[in-house]
Amino acid sequence: MAGKTPDRQRASAARVATAPDAVAVDNTPDYPGKRFGLPKDGPMSVAPLGRRLAALVLDWVLVELIVAAVTRHSIFSGTQDAHYFSTMYWTLLVFGLEVWLLTAISGITVGKRLLGIRVIRTNGSRPGFGWALLRTVLLFFVVPPLLSDRDLRGLHDRATDTIVVRM
């Protein structure tokens, strides 16, 4: 390689890559969750993104309604209500606590239960308090859940070695 120029190296690499007997290795799993030993369909299969998003929205709406009732905030009055900002801060706090504690204890929030999904570690165990806390904090950054891999695991799931499955 010492005598080759960069252009000759590229040409050599191009010849190897386009050789007739060159085989590209495709290690893409047949379906999400296969590499973790999960089934393709039914219970314990990877939950679809739409169901996960709907569970998140259900959790948020439920918490918003409870906090609005406690703080006596009228949801339909918007920012005109004197309790608007305190309601928003409490909603954020209660939502974080709900997601963290319920995920840590059982892997199931209220929204996930209603939609038949749960969070598990990739080895099948429950997430636990530490991993659930990290997962919840990353969830608040919004972007990590949107960047998913072939197994439909967002960055928050990959960082905590979790996966969302059907019940």
> Average pLDDT of 3-7?
56
Half-sphere exposure of 48 (CA within 13 A, CB side): 6
Q: Residue ranges of the domains in the chain?
A: 34-166
Query: What per-residue string of b and e applies to 18-31 under the rule 16 or more CB within 10 Å gives b?
Result: eeeeeeeeeeeeee
Q: What is the pLDDT of residue 146?
A: 85
Of the pLDDT bands very low, low, confident and very high (cuts 50, 70, 90), residue 6 is low
Supply the pLDDT for residue 81.
Answer: 74
107-155: per-residue pLDDT in tens?
Answer: 999 999 999 999 999 999 999 999 999 999 999 998 888 889 999 999 9
